[in-house]
Structure 1
Amino acid sequence: METGSITTPFGRRAMTLGMLASQVMAGEIKPNQSVDKWKLFRALCEAKPLLNISDRALAVLNALLSFYPKNELAQENGLIVFPSNVQLSLRTHGMAEQTVRRHLAALVEAGLLLRKDSPNGKRYVRRDRAGEVNDAFGFSLAPLLARAEEIEQLAAEVIAERLHVQRLRERITLCRRDIAKLIEAAVEEDVPGDWQGLYLEFRDLIDGLPRSPTTAQLEQLLDELTALRTDILNRLENRIKSTKERGNANYIERHIQNSNPESISESEPSFETKQGAKPEQDNERGAVTLEEGRDETAPPSRQEGQGRRPRARDDAGGLKSFPLGLVLQACPEILAYGPNGEIRNWRELMTAAVTVRSMLGVSPSAYEEAANAMGPENAATVMACILERGGHINSAGGYLRDLTRRSEKGEFAIGPMLMSLLRANAAVGRKVG
């Protein structure tokens, strides 16, 4: 009844070919065709990106469906609902009537609703003496019924795409972990090779990924990471084969089975966060110098990190580090995360900083970027300061990333932060005394 003729909109709203096409399509509903309205609505929510409709428009459509008396959308039950804008506003939890009208227009434009306007533009129904509907004016749900199969197909495509992206991200995560740990193992075992260059190549691939990547970009990244992992594995396998040919069985066993129980590296370990290690920085990129793990070439900074207090000196990006005693005096709360409640050297401070990072919800990537930009000692110092000021910082991860960016631009120095904390702790001490 309601789809048997073409209707034009009331008032100044113009008739378009799109409206005409929607009415023609709605008139082609198959005989006895029906669909569960809530099941179809869930499919619409899934297919939302492909249908180019907003969640607010879906909220209005949900309200319209609630006025349909049956659970099954079927032509024999009638397909027109006629609630007023006031009623729709109530069922959309107080959405403004102007907003309701705007989203109704969006649903009509998307081909999900049809207007069947009365001569005066009002929505109402005429019934016979038996109470049966003779004529109704409002919104027709016929396009939903006519496009039910299409909507379900679009929803299936969106779900399949989402699962595909999820699997891509999982495989990328595994590749990142494999590459980082294989490079770390190669450096730990003194395997010859340009491991610093490979690590920088790895970081370039990761850092080049946009914040919201497309599926194609994720697929390309996975291919590149897989190729890099294969290259690293080939180098390590060649090393194993050459060692086996020399008959050094003990070395082979150590190479394969060696583990470092004191390592604090995470899913993407970076070389500057190893306990006791204090890397030099590449002059142009602030990159980690991977060859410093050898005892005969260990720099003075590494010896300082194993027990002696380092002098204040220029670190990555020109950032100056401060004596450990001064850091602990300014940030005493970090002591609780050291072994037996004390921190005796920089190695223990960096270990405690990683624990604090996890506790404060700072992501491994944010801490790694800070260590690259500031140096591992300074990154640990900043984490101690953030812990000390935890009650005044809403997002520790966002705050650390902001400090990292400022450090890269030469706009951040640790000294003022430490001095401020020293003065605050001294004032508290005077009050307590």
Structure 2
Amino acid sequence: MDNAYVTTPFGRRAMSLGMLASQQLAETIEPGITRNKWKLFRAICEARPALGVTDRALTVLDALLTFYPSDEISEERGLIVFPSNAQLSIRARGMTAATLRRHLAVLVDAGLILRKDSANGKRYARRGRAGEVEEAFGFSLAPLLARATEIEALAAQAIADREHLRITRERLTICRRDIAKLIAAAVDEGVRGEWEQISLMFRAMIERLTRAPVIEHLVSALDEMSLLREEIVNQLETNTKTQEMNSNESQIDRHIQNSNPESTYELEPGFETKQGAKSADRIGRPSEPIAEGNEISNSAGDAGAGEGRTKRTKGPVGEGGALKSFPLGLVLQACPEISEYGPAGQIGNWRDLMVAAVVVRSMLGVSPSAYEAACVAMGPENAATVMACILERGGHINSAGGYLRDLTRRTANGEFAIGPMLMSLVRANSSVGRSVC
């Protein structure tokens, strides 16, 4: 084999342990292994930072490879190239002799080529009678063949890292654009929130990025900005849901009598009578006083039948009969947990309660269609009251949506009253309060 022995450099160049290690590695070439020299050279270019070589040194290596007689590097064809300095300089784009020597030393130190110097330092080949090369002195390409698998792995890793860097940069750019435009939209639309503080936080994240950040810094910045974008989107979605809820309330108000949330009637302490004797029997208080402002009239048909049915001119009317609207204070006494979901963490009127009910509906997984059906059947105030009760008894209800639909069906059939549910919760909260005291 051409590289089956240790050789030391000619002249004043010193031998090093690194050169010895490279020569030993060159002896470990697997039998029959071959590589296309230009594909291998491309892999070396990709892995250049990991191999510790410069672009000018790769220019010299490119020139050396042109002197190899075949495109396939193999041990059978020989691994020594022996160009003169003049020819090597021409193929290295006119590089000077001093520069050539410097970059050849870089290739040797990187373990990509080996020197096989003759006795006088000249590069040449000794041929036999048949013209075949018996012995050559110059530069050995054996390390390229011995390290081919390692070089290809380094190249693949370099390509993957570069792609990861590109994708991370793209995602960071998109995230920065999203945050900037979402903040601008929130400010233009007058959405409530600490947008000035969020803008300062966003600007601080951008200022921490350097002009040429490494992948670790980019990944960290992307994680921070992604969390900020998610927070901004959540705030905007909450605002959008609130607006949609207010729009839905306005639509329901056109079909239900006297659903004005600010009316003094809704805050009266008295209870309404329900439509029909069956409803009065369910409440169990047929002689309960009627709230002020409620007008009662007997229809002619009811009078003829002797039933004396009552008809409310105020309060929500459902498809299967009206439910009583209870005072807001009683509802909050029975269901104190609902206050935490109101605007600014408190409930001051029926509109605040209905806003909180929409938030709770989404939190408990109740579908919009189920809640809208409850509003139609019970009235928006009573539907919000039922949602407050479901929240208060959340630990005892497996499916809030199914429970609400069942109550809606029972309301339409005249089989449900809110009063007993509220009174039970009032007693439960009162007993808890006494036990704590």
Runs (4+) of structure 1 moved beyond 3 Å?
none
Q: Distance in 2 between matches of 1:56 and 1:123?
A: 22
| Counterpart for residue 70 of structure 1 | 70
| Counterpart for residue 224 of structure 2 | 224
After TM superposition, the structure 1 = structure 2 runs for residues 251-330 of structure 1, keeping only pairs within 5 Å, are: none
Q: Which secondary structure state, in structure 2, belongs to the residue aligned with residue 76 of structure 1?
A: coil
Change (3 A) 1:119 1:249: farther
After TM superposition, the structure 1 = structure 2 runs for residues 38-49 of structure 1, keeping only pairs within 5 Å, are: 38-49=38-49
Q: Distance in 2 between matches of 1:110 and 1:20?
A: 13
Q: Distance in 2 between matches of 1:6 and 1:14?
A: 14
Matched, 1:3 2:8: no
TM-superposed CA distance for 1:241, in Å, is 2.3
| Counterpart for residue 25 of structure 1 | 25
Q: Distance in 2 between matches of 1:207 and 1:220?
A: 14
Change (3 A) 1:176 1:249: farther
Q: Distance in 2 between matches of 1:232 and 1:113?
A: 57
| Counterpart for residue 165 of structure 1 | 165
Amino acid across the alignment from 2:73? L
Could you tell me which runs of 5 or more consecutive residues in structure 2 were left unpaired when the two chains were aligned: 251-437
Matched, 1:187 2:183: no
| Counterpart for residue 378 of structure 2 | none
| Counterpart for residue 206 of structure 1 | 206
After TM superposition, the structure 1 = structure 2 runs for residues 358-377 of structure 1, keeping only pairs within 5 Å, are: none
Amino acid across the alignment from 1:164? H
Q: Distance in 2 between matches of 1:240 and 1:7?
A: 79
Matched, 1:81 2:67: no
Residues 246-305 of structure 1, C-alpha deviation per residue, up to 9 Å, x if partnerless? 23689xxxxxxxxxxxxxxxxxxxxxxxxxxxxxxxxxxxxxxxxxxxxxxxxxxxxxxx
Q: Distance in 1 between matches of 2:115 and 2:50?
A: 23
Q: Which secondary structure state, in structure 2, belongs to the residue aligned with residue 115 of structure 1?
A: strand
Residues 366-414 of structure 1, C-alpha deviation per residue, up to 9 Å, x if partnerless? xxxxxxxxxxxxxxxxxxxxxxxxxxxxxxxxxxxxxxxxxxxxxxxxx
Residues 160-185 of structure 1, C-alpha deviation per residue, up to 9 Å, x if partnerless? 00111111111111111111111111
Q: Distance in 1 between matches of 2:35 and 2:62?
A: 15
Amino acid across the alignment from 1:123? R
| Counterpart for residue 61 of structure 2 | 61
| Counterpart for residue 234 of structure 1 | 234
After TM superposition, the structure 1 = structure 2 runs for residues 37-186 of structure 1, keeping only pairs within 5 Å, are: 37-186=37-186
Q: Which secondary structure state, in structure 1, belongs to the residue aligned with residue 247 of structure 2?
A: coil
| Counterpart for residue 347 of structure 2 | none
Number of equivalent positions: 251
Q: Distance in 1 between matches of 2:73 and 2:249?
A: 75
Range with greater deviation from structure 2 (236-245 or 101-110): 236-245
TM-superposed CA distance for 1:243, in Å, is 2.2
| Counterpart for residue 13 of structure 1 | 13
TM-superposed CA distance for 1:201, in Å, is 1.4
| Counterpart for residue 287 of structure 2 | none
Q: Distance in 1 between matches of 2:50 and 2:212?
A: 18
Could you tell me which runs of 5 or more consecutive residues in structure 1 were left unpaired when the two chains were aligned: 251-433
TM-superposed CA distance for 1:56, in Å, is 0.4
Contact 1:8 1:15 in 2 (8 A): yes
Change (3 A) 1:5 1:240: same
Change (3 A) 1:246 1:22: same
Contact 1:85 1:101 in 2 (8 A): no
Q: Distance in 2 between matches of 1:212 and 1:109?
A: 29
TM-superposed CA distance for 1:156, in Å, is 0.2
Residues 182-203 of structure 1, C-alpha deviation per residue, up to 9 Å, x if partnerless? 1111011011122122122112
Q: Distance in 1 between matches of 2:249 and 2:118?
A: 91
Residues 94-134 of structure 1, C-alpha deviation per residue, up to 9 Å, x if partnerless? 11111111000000000000000101111111111211111
Q: Which secondary structure state, in structure 2, belongs to the residue aligned with residue 247 of structure 1?
A: helix
Larger radius of gyration: 2
Amino acid across the alignment from 2:163? L
Q: Distance in 1 between matches of 2:225 and 2:236?
A: 17
Amino acid across the alignment from 1:14? A
TM-superposed CA distance for 1:59, in Å, is 0.4
Q: Distance in 1 between matches of 2:85 and 2:143?
A: 21
Q: Distance in 2 between matches of 1:87 and 1:145?
A: 24
| Counterpart for residue 243 of structure 2 | 243
Q: Percent identity between the aligned chains?
A: 60
